[in-house]
Structure 1
Amino acid sequence: MTMPPIYELNDRTRTLFRVIVEQYLDSGLPVGSRTLSKISGLSLSSASIRNVMQDLEEMGLLAAPHTSAGRLPTESGLRLFVDGMMRTDEPTMEEQRAIKSQITGHGPIEEALASASQILSGLSSCAGIVMAPKREAILKQFSFARLSQNQILAIMVASDGHIENRIIELNAPVNDSALVEASNYMTVKFCGMTLNDAKAALDAEIRNEQAALDRASANLVKQGLAIWSIDADERPVLIVKGQSNLLDEAAVNDLDRIRNLLDDLENKQEIAQLVDSARSAQSMRIFIGSENRLFSLSGSSIIAAPYHDEGGKVVGVVGVIGPTRLNYGRIIPMVDFTAKTLSTLIK
Structure 2
Amino acid sequence: MSGPTITELTTRARDIFQRVVEEYLENGLPVGSKTLAADGAINLSPASIRSVLAELESQGFLAAPHTSAGRMPTEAGLRIFVDGMMRVAEPSREEQAQIEARIAESGPVEQALQATSALLSELTGAAGMVMVPPREQRLSQFSLVSLGQGRALAVLVGEDGGVENRVLDIDPGDTGSLEAASNYITSRLTGRTLAEAAQAMRAEIKAGKSQLDAASSDLVERGLAVWSEDANARPVLIVRGASNLIDEAALDDIERVRSLLDDLEDKQSVASLLESAREADATRIFIGSENRLFGLSGSSVIASPYRDMEGRVVGVLGVIGPTRLNYARVVPMVDLTARSLSRSLSASSGKLIA
TM-score, normalized by the shorter chain, greater than 0.5: yes
Deviation of residue 34 (structure 1)? Answer: 1.0
User: Could you say what the CA RMSD is over the residues aligned between the two structures, in angstroms?
Assistant: 3.7
Secondary structure of the 2:296 match is coil
Deviation of residue 311 (structure 1)? Answer: 2.0
Question: What residue is the counterpart of 1:323 in the other structure?
Answer: 322
Deviation of residue 120 (structure 1)? Answer: 1.4
Question: What residue is the counterpart of 2:127 in the other structure?
Answer: 127
Report the Cα distance in structure 2 between the residues aligned to 1:108 and 1:32, rounded to whole angstroms.
Answer: 51
Report the Cα distance in structure 2 between the residues aligned to 1:37 and 1:111, rounded to whole angstroms.
Answer: 50
- Per-residue CA distance 1:32-61 (angstroms, 9 max, x = gap): 111112236333222221121111111111
Unmatched runs of 5 consecutive residues or more in structure 2: 145-152, 158-162, 169-176, 212-216, 350-354
State whether structure 2 residue 164 is matched by structure 1 residue 161.
Answer: yes
State the number of aligned residues. 318
- Per-residue CA distance 1:78-131 (angstroms, 9 max, x = gap): 111100000011101221122122111662111122111111111111111112
Question: What residue is the counterpart of 2:172 in the other structure?
Answer: none
Letter in 1 for 2:142: K
- Per-residue CA distance 1:3-41 (angstroms, 9 max, x = gap): 743211221111110000011111111111111122363
Report the Cα distance in structure 2 between the residues aligned to 1:61 and 1:199, rounded to whole angstroms.
Answer: 59
- Per-residue CA distance 1:293-332 (angstroms, 9 max, x = gap): 1012111111111112222221222211111110110111
Report the Cα distance in structure 2 between the residues aligned to 1:189 and 1:341, rounded to whole angstroms.
Answer: 37
Counting only pairs closer than 5 Å after superposition, residues 1-347 of structure 1 correspond to structure 2 as 1-2=1-2, 4-39=4-39, 41-66=41-66, 68-104=68-104, 107-132=107-132, 134-137=134-137, 138=139, 140=142, 158-159=156-157, 160-163=163-166, 187=185, 190-192=188-190, 193-198=192-197, 201=200, 228=228, 237-346=236-345, 347=349
Letter in 2 for 1:282: D
Conserved 8 A contact 1:156-1:164: yes
Deviation of residue 236 (structure 1)? Answer: 5.1
Deviation of residue 184 (structure 1)? Answer: 5.8
Letter in 2 for 1:338: T
Conserved 8 A contact 2:106-2:115: no
Letter in 1 for 2:240: K
Letter in 1 for 2:81: F
Go from structure 1 to structure 2 and tell me whether the alpha carbon gap of 1:235 and 1:56 turns closer, same or farther (over 3 Å shift). farther
Report the Cα distance in structure 2 between the residues aligned to 1:39 and 1:309, rounded to whole angstroms.
Answer: 48
Question: What residue is the counterpart of 2:147 in the other structure?
Answer: none
Conserved 8 A contact 1:202-1:211: no
Letter in 2 for 1:284: T
- Which stretch of the first structure deviates more once superposed, 293-302 or 37-46? 37-46
Secondary structure of the 1:304 match is strand
Letter in 2 for 1:326: L
Go from structure 1 to structure 2 and tell me whether the alpha carbon gap of 1:127 and 1:197 turns closer, same or farther (over 3 Å shift). same
Secondary structure of the 1:298 match is coil
Question: What residue is the counterpart of 1:168 in the other structure?
Answer: none
Report the Cα distance in structure 2 between the residues aligned to 1:267 and 1:85, rounded to whole angstroms.
Answer: 34
Report the Cα distance in structure 1 between the residues aligned to 2:80 and 2:201, rounded to whole angstroms.
Answer: 55
Deviation of residue 292 (structure 1)? Answer: 0.5
Letter in 2 for 1:243: A
TM-score norm. by structure 1 comes to 0.78
User: Between the two proteins, what is the percent identity of the paired residues?
Assistant: 52
Go from structure 1 to structure 2 and tell me whether the alpha carbon gap of 1:122 and 1:9 turns closer, same or farther (over 3 Å shift). same
Unmatched runs of 5 consecutive residues or more in structure 1: 143-154, 166-179
Letter in 2 for 1:132: V
Secondary structure of the 1:315 match is strand
TM-score norm. by structure 2 comes to 0.77
Go from structure 1 to structure 2 and tell me whether the alpha carbon gap of 1:210 and 1:283 turns closer, same or farther (over 3 Å shift). farther
